[in-house]
Amino acid sequence: MLAYENIYGELFSEFRQSLEDHFNIYPCLPARLPENKERMEALSRDGIVILPDYFGPEIIEAAREKLHLMTLALQAGSDILNDVPDGCKNRDVPFGAFRIYEIDKYYGDVCAPIRDNEVINDLVQGYMSNQAGLQTMAAELRTPSQGINGYMTAGSPIPHADHIFRQIKVFTLLDDVNEDNGPIVYWTGTQKDREWRWPNDYMRYVGMSPFCADRMFTESRMIEMEKNDPDVRRVTGTGAAGTVIIMDVRGAHRASLVNNGHRLHVYSQIRMFEGADYSLGGRNPG
């Protein structure tokens, strides 16, 4: 610890204390529902759990039909989205990603059954020490990037952490996802409070932009960790529409580039409102 303080200065002990408090005062709890016992063990250990084919076709097709239209409208710049405030629209044309936040406010009928699922929310609450609060639900369409400028506008295909504190994203796939349409990649075990990521977390803690601080999460470092650390495995979020991916985005993850077709999903972003000061840790790169 002394060596780190010499390098980084006295805020380093404050940083360590706040991460230790985050994990000690608010530990992951067991699931309440018996059917979640093993899923919860996997989520706590790995930082990710996948529920293949979880939602049936009725829920998924209704959501896909509406949300594909909405995200295509955002891509086209159509005025049918005029009811959605500009602050809720993220239209990255060069990169090919189209995201609408607060989607459950506009299309509650198709979003509520996904957002309010008791089994999923039991896992989320346990993992977040019963302190979980929904920050936003979003729909996102990812399409092939159009050029080098596009690659530079979005950091998500480079390994990163969304936050230094536990933060969950629950992805529900609305398209079948394979290697070709840009699956999410996650490295298990990297969500834990380990010394290798302290320099990164510290830089975020003192407010450095993630696009600078997260250079420590390089692909080559992740490959090294896969070789040397038995806890670290690369998990690729492929699966049929209806598959649910619950992940702690404190752990290292990235998108993949879409080669063919597109990937449509919804996700809920969940934080601990009581347990952590989320004003720390810099901006959220998504």
Ligand X SMILES: O=C(O)CCC(=O)C(=O)O
Site residues (CB under 5 A) for Fe ion? 162
Q: How far is the CB of 35 from ligand X (least distance, A)?
A: 27
- Cα dihedral sign, 147-149-154-155: positive
Q: What is the separation, in whole angstroms, between the first and last Cα of the chain?
A: 31
Burial call 147-161: b when 16+ CB within 10 Å, e when fewer: eeebeeebbbbbbbb
Closest approach of ligand X to the CB of residue 108, in Å: 22
Minimum CB distance to ligand X smaller for 123 or for 184: 184
Q: CB under 6 A: which stretch of 19-27, 60-68, 78-86, 247-255 binds ligand X?
A: 247-255
Q: For residues 31 and 141, which CB has a smaller minimum distance to Fe ion in the complex?
A: 141
Residue 164 and residue 113: Cα distance in Å, rounded? 30
Greatest C-alpha distance within the chain? 58
The answer to whether 225 and 187 have CB atoms below 8 angstroms apart is yes
Q: Closest separation between CB of residue 204 and ligand X, Å?
A: 14
**To the nearest whole angstrom, how small is the minimum distance from the Cβ of residue 213 to Fe ion?**
13
Rule CB under 6 A: say whether 162 interacts with ligand X: yes
Residue nearest to Fe ion (CB): 162
Among 249, 258, 270, 272, indicate the residue that binds ligand X (CB under 6 A).
Answer: 249
248 binds ligand X (CB under 6 A): no
CB distance 240 to 53 below 8 Å: yes
Q: What is the dihedral of CA 275, 283, 249, 9, to 10 degrees?
A: -70
Interface with ligand X (CB under 6 A), residue total 8
Tell me the window of 7-15, 78-86, 219-227, 248-256 that interacts with ligand X (CB under 6 A). 248-256
* Residue sitting closest to ligand X (CB): 255
What is the C-alpha to C-alpha distance for residues 190 and 155, in angstroms, rounded to an integer?
19
Residue 162 CB, nearest distance to Fe ion (Å)? 4
